[in-house]
C-alpha cells in the first residue's frame, strides 16, 4: 500500500508538473496592452515636444554650428562635415544640422525670407513650409531607443513644427524687413549622397531681428 | 529473493518516472539545436519572391549575412502566414541563430515571430512591420510617413505655384487598406496637404497597390470628377495605372501624378516629365542593416531600438538628374 501511495504520488507530481507548464493564466487587458499597437501608456506628443523645446532644444541653440563655417566645410570635406555635425534618428542619406548665423534681410517672400551672410552666401529662412524632421533630429538630443512606436516620433516632429508655426514664424514675418539684421538658429536637411548647397532652407528655431 | 526482485522492479519503475519527469522539465528549455563548431546560421524569411522588390530585399540580406561569415538560407512565405509559420518552425528546429524577416501580415506574423523570440532567436524585421514591439528584436522600416510628408510638401508647392490660392481638386488612391504602410503614407501626405484649405480631396479609393485596379479606379472617378488637378497614389504601380487612365482620358498633361516607391518605370517617367514625383525607398539599406544587426547581436549587442526608420528620398522634377537612369522595360 505504501508503495502504491508513493507511485500515485509520483504520478500526481508528474501530472501537476505537466499541467503547470501547459496552462498559463493572464488578464486579457494585460495581454492586449502588451501585444497591441498602442502597447503601454498612451504617448502625449504635444507635451513631449513642449518639454523638449523648452528644456533641451532652446538651450542647445547656443551650441549650433556657424552656418558659414559649415558651408565651407561641406564644400571642402563633406565626410567630416556630416560625421561631425549632422544627426538623424533614422538610417539613410537624409541628415540634419543645427545651424546659426547673422545676416541682412535682402528679400521677404510669401514662403521664405532671404538673408545675406557675411561670407556673401545667401540662405532662406522658411516661413511657410514648416514640415519634416529637421527640428526634431538636428540637435541629436532625442534618442531612437526612447520610442517603441515610429508614429510617436512622427507626431513629435509635427508638434515641434506646430510650435514653430505658432511661436517663431509670426514675429519673424512681422519684423523682418529688407535691410534688417537677423540673428538666427535653425535646422537644415541635407542629402549626404546627393548634396545640393544652393537650395538650403533653414527651419527657424530662434530668431532675433535687430532693427 | 522474491521480495528483493519486487524491490528492484519498483526501483526501476521509479527511476523511469524520474527520468520522464526530468525529460519533461528539460523539454521547455531545449527548443533549438545549434552546431557549436560551424558558422552561425541566418534565416531570411520573406513574404514573397514573386515581386522583384522583395527578391532584392531577400537576396541583399542573405548576401550581406554571408559576407559577414554566416550560413544563410532564404525561405519564401508566398504571402501565406501558415507557410511562414512552417518556415519559423523549420528555422527553430534546424538551429538557425537569427531570423531576418519580411513579414507576410502585420498581425498574422506576430505569433510566428514570437515563437522564435521565445526560443531565444533574435528576429529583425525588414520593410514591413509587425504590430507588436515585443514580437521582434528590432524592426527596420521605410520611413513611409516622413517620405510622404516630403511628397505632400512638393505636391502643395507645385500646385500652389500653378494656381495660387484657387481651389485644387485631387484624388487619393490608397494601397491595401489592411496594410500599415498604406495608412502611414496617407497620414504623412495629409499632415501637410490638409493644412491648405483650398486643397480638396474629391475622392479617396483603394486599388490594393495594383496597377490595373488603379487604372480602373481612376477611370471611374474621372466620370464623376472630370476637373481634378492631381492624383496621389500610395505606390508607384498605382501611379503608373493612374497615368494610363489619364492618357486614355486625354488629361495626362493637365493632371499631376505622384507615386511612392522609386520603381524603375516611375523614375524613368519622372525623367520624361510624365509623373511628377515619388518617394525612393531603399530595400538594400534595410536588408544590409538587418544582417549587420544580427551580426552585432551575435557579438553581444542587445540595446536595439524597437523600430528604426530608414529615410525615403523625394525624387522630383528638380533632382531626378541626380539618380542614374535605368533601362526602360
Note the pLDDT tens digit of each residue in B176-191.
887 788 999 999 999 9
| Tens-digit pLDDT profile for residues B111-164 | 999 999 999 999 999 998 888 888 999 999 999 999 999 999 999 999 986 556
Q: Could you tell me the pLDDT band of residue A203, with boundaries at 50, 70 and 90?
A: very high
Q: Which of A51-55, A138-142, A191-195, B24-28 has the lowest mean pLDDT?
A: B24-28
| Minimal-distance CA residue of chain B relative to A2 | B10
Q: Could you tell me the pLDDT band of residue B328, with boundaries at 50, 70 and 90?
A: very low
Instruction: Count Cα neighbours of A175 within 13 Å in the Cβ-side half-sphere.
Output: 14
Q: Is residue A51 part of a domain?
A: yes
CB contact under 8 A, A37 and B191: no
Q: Is residue A168 part of a domain?
A: yes
For residue B169, give the nearest of B195, B148, B208, B198 by alpha carbon: B198
* pLDDT reported for residue A80: 97
* pLDDT reported for residue A6: 84
* pLDDT reported for residue A16: 84
* pLDDT reported for residue A17: 81
Q: How many CB atoms lie within 10 A of CB B326?
A: 12
User: Could you tell me what percent of chain A has a pLDDT over 90?
Assistant: 73
For residue A177, give the nearest of A151, A211, A144 by alpha carbon: A211
Helix axes A67-76, A78-85, angle to 10 degrees: 140
CB contact under 8 A, A196 and B14: no
| Tens-digit pLDDT profile for residues B189-217 | 999 999 999 999 999 999 999 999 999 99
* Domain range for A50: 43-209
Distance CA(A127)–CA(B84), nearest Å, equals 49
Q: Is residue A133 part of a domain?
A: yes
Q: Strands B256-258 and B230-233, how do they pair? A: parallel
* pLDDT reported for residue B6: 61
Per-window interface: B 261-300 vs A, CB < 8 A: 282, 285, 289
Q: Could you tell me the pLDDT band of residue B37, with boundaries at 50, 70 and 90?
A: low
B306 pLDDT higher than 60: yes
Q: Which of B157, B311, B322 sits opposite A90 (nearest CB)?
A: B311
Q: What one-character-per-residue DSSP string does B82-146 give?
A: HHHHHHHHHHHHTT-SEEEE--S-TTTTHHHHHHHHHTT--EEEESS--S-TTSSSEEEEE-HHH
Per-residue pLDDT averaged across A152-176, rounded? Answer: 95
| Tens-digit pLDDT profile for residues B83-96 | 999 999 999 999 99
Q: Tell me the chain B residues in contact with residue A147 when contact means C-beta distances shorter than 8 Å.
A: 305-307
* pLDDT reported for residue B32: 42
Q: Is residue A73 part of a domain?
A: yes
* pLDDT reported for residue A8: 87
Residue B143 and residue B203 in contact, taking contact as beta carbons nearer than 8 Å:
no
Q: Which of A179-188, B174-183, B279-288 has the lowest mean pLDDT?
A: B174-183
| Tens-digit pLDDT profile for residues B233-273 | 999 999 999 999 999 999 999 999 999 999 999 999 999 99
**A200 CA: distance to closest CA in chain B (Å):** 14
| Tens-digit pLDDT profile for residues A17-58 | 877 777 666 655 555 555 444 455 688 999 999 999 999 999
Q: Could you tell me the pLDDT band of residue A206, with boundaries at 50, 70 and 90?
A: very high
Per-residue pLDDT averaged across A84-110, rounded? Answer: 96
Q: Does B143 touch chain A (CB under 8 A)?
A: yes
A179 pLDDT higher than 70: yes
User: Could you tell me what percent of chain A has a pLDDT over 70?
Assistant: 89
Q: Beta strands of chain B (E only): which ranges?
A: 41-46, 71-76, 98-101, 123-126, 138-142, 168-174, 199-206, 230-233, 256-258, 278-280, 307-310, 313-315
Q: With a cut of 0.85, is the ipTM above it?
A: no
Burial of B48 (C-beta count, 10 Å sphere; 0-12/13-18/19+): middle
What is the total count of domains within chain A? 1
Q: Is residue A131 part of a domain?
A: yes
Q: Could you tell me the pLDDT band of residue B286, with boundaries at 50, 70 and 90?
A: very high
Residue A123 and residue A177 in contact, taking contact as beta carbons nearer than 8 Å:
no
Per-window interface: B 101-130 vs A, CB < 8 A: 110
Q: Which of A17, A39, A194 sits opposite B133 (nearest CB)?
A: A39
Q: Is residue A18 part of a domain?
A: no
Residue A144 carries which DSSP code? G
* pLDDT reported for residue B20: 53
CB contact under 8 A, A21 and B24: yes
* pLDDT reported for residue B191: 96
Q: Which of A2-16, A108-122, B143-157 has the lowest mean pLDDT?
A: A2-16
Which cell numbers hold the place of B19? 527520468
**B138 CA: distance to closest CA in chain A (Å):** 10
Output the domain CATH number for residue A188.
2.40.50.420
Q: Is residue A173 part of a domain?
A: yes
User: Could you tell me what percent of chain B has a pLDDT over 70?
Assistant: 86
Phi, psi of B138 (to 5 degrees): -160, 145
Distance CA(A43)–CA(B282), nearest Å, equals 29
Selected for mutation to probe chain A from B22, B110, B146, B310 (highest A CB count within 10 Å) is: B146
Q: Tell me the chain B residues in contact with residue A88 when contact means C-beta distances shorter than 8 Å.
A: 311
**B322 CA: distance to closest CA in chain A (Å):** 7
* pLDDT reported for residue A202: 98
Per-window interface: B 299-318 vs A, CB < 8 A: 303-313
* pLDDT reported for residue A42: 83
Q: Is residue A25 part of a domain?
A: no
Computed over every residue of chain B, the mean pLDDT equals 89
Q: Tell me the chain A residues in contact with residue B192 when contact means C-beta distances shorter than 8 Å.
A: 131
* pLDDT reported for residue A210: 86
Phi, psi of B328 (to 5 degrees): -80, 140
Q: Is the dihedral of CA A176, A177, A178, A183 positive or negative?
A: negative
Amino acid at each position: 500500500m505504501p508503495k502504491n501511495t508513493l507511485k500515485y504520488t509520483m504520478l500526481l507530481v508528474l501530472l501537476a508538473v505537466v499541467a503547470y507548464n501547459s496552462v498559463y493564466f493572464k488578464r486579457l487587458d494585460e495581454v492586449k496592452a502588451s501585444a497591441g499597437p498602442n502597447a503601454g501608456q498612451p504617448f502625449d506628443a504635444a507635451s513631449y515636444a513642449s518639454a523638449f523645446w523648452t528644456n533641451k532644444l532652446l538651450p542647445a541653440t547656443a551650441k549650433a554650428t556657424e552656418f558659414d563655417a559649415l558651408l565651407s566645410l561641406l564644400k571642402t570635406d563633406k565626410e567630416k562635415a556630416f560625421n561631425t555635425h549632422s544627426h538623424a534618428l533614422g538610417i539613410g542619406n537624409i541628415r540634419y544640422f543645427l545651424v546659426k548665423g547673422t545676416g541682412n534681410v535682402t528679400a521677404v517672400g510669401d514662403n521664405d525670407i532671404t538673408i545675406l551672410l557675411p561670407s556673401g552666401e545667401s540662405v532662406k529662412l522658411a516661413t511657410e513650409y514648416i514640415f519634416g524632421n529637421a527640428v526634431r533630429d538636428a540637435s541629436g538630443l532625442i534618442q531612437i531607443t526612447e520610442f517603441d512606436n515610429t508614429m510617436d516620433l512622427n507626431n513629435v516632429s509635427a508638434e515641434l513644427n506646430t510650435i514653430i508655426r505658432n511661436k517663431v514664424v509670426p514675429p519673424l514675418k512681422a519684423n523682418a524687413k529688407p535691410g534688417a539684421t537677423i540673428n538666427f538658429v535653425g535646422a537644415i536637411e541635407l542629402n549626404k549622397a546627393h548634396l545640393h548647397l544652393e537650395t538650403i532652407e533653414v527651419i527657424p528655431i530662434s530668431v532675433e531681428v535687430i532693427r | 529473493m522474491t521480495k528483493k526482485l519486487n524491490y528492484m522492479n519498483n526501483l526501476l519503475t521509479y527511476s523511469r518516472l524520474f527520468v520522464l519527469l526530468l525529460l519533461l522539465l528539460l523539454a521547455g528549455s531545449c527548443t533549438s539545436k545549434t552546431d557549436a563548431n560551424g558558422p552561425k546560421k541566418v534565416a531570411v524569411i520573406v513574404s514573397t519572391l514573386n515581386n522583384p522588390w522583395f527578391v532584392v530585399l531577400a537576396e541583399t540580406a542573405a548576401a550581406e549575412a554571408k559576407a559577414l561569415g554566416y550560413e544563410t538560407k532564404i525561405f519564401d512565405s508566398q504571402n501565406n502566414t501558415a507557410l511562414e509559420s512552417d518556415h519559423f518552425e523549420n528555422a527553430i528546429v534546424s538551429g538557425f541563430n537569427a531570423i531576418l524577416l519580411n513579414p507576410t501580415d502585420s498581425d498574422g506574423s506576430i505569433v510566428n515571430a514570437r515563437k522564435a523570440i521565445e526560443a531565444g532567436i533574435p528576429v529583425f524585421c525588414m520593410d514591413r512591420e509587425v504590430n507588436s514591439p515585443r514580437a521582434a528584436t528590432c524592426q527596420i522600416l521605410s520611413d513611409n510617413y516622413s517620405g510622404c510628408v516630403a511628397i505632400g510638401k512638393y505636391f502643395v508647392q507645385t500646385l500652389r505655384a500653378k494656381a495660387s490660392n484657387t481651389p485644387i481638386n485631387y484624388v487619393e488612391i490608397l494601397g491595401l487598406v489592411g496594410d500599415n504602410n498604406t495608412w502611414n503614407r496617407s497620414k504623412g501626405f495629409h499632415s501637410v496637404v490638409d493644412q491648405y484649405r483650398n486643397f480638396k480631396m474629391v475622392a479617396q479609393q483603394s486599388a490594393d497597390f495594383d496597377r490595373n485596379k488603379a487604372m480602373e479606379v481612376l477611370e471611374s472617378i474621372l466620370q464623376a470628377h472630370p476637373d481634378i488637378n492631381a492624383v496621389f497614389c500610395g505606390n508607384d504601380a498605382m501611379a503608373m495605372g493612374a497615368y494610363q487612365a489619364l492618357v486614355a482620358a486625354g488629361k495626362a498633361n493637365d493632371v499631376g501624378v505622384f507615386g511612392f516607391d522609386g520603381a524603375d518605370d516611375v523614375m524613368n517617367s519622372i525623367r520624361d516629365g510624365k509623373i511628377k514625383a515619388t518617394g525612393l525607398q531603399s530595400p538594400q539599406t534595410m536588408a544590409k542593416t538587418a544582417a549587420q544587426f544580427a551580426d552585432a547581436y551575435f557579438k553581444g549587442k542587445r540595446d536595439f531600438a524597437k523600430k528604426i526608420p530608414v529615410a525615403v528620398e523625394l525624387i522630383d522634377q528638380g533632382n531626378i538628374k541626380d539618380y542614374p537612369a535605368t533601362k526602360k522595360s
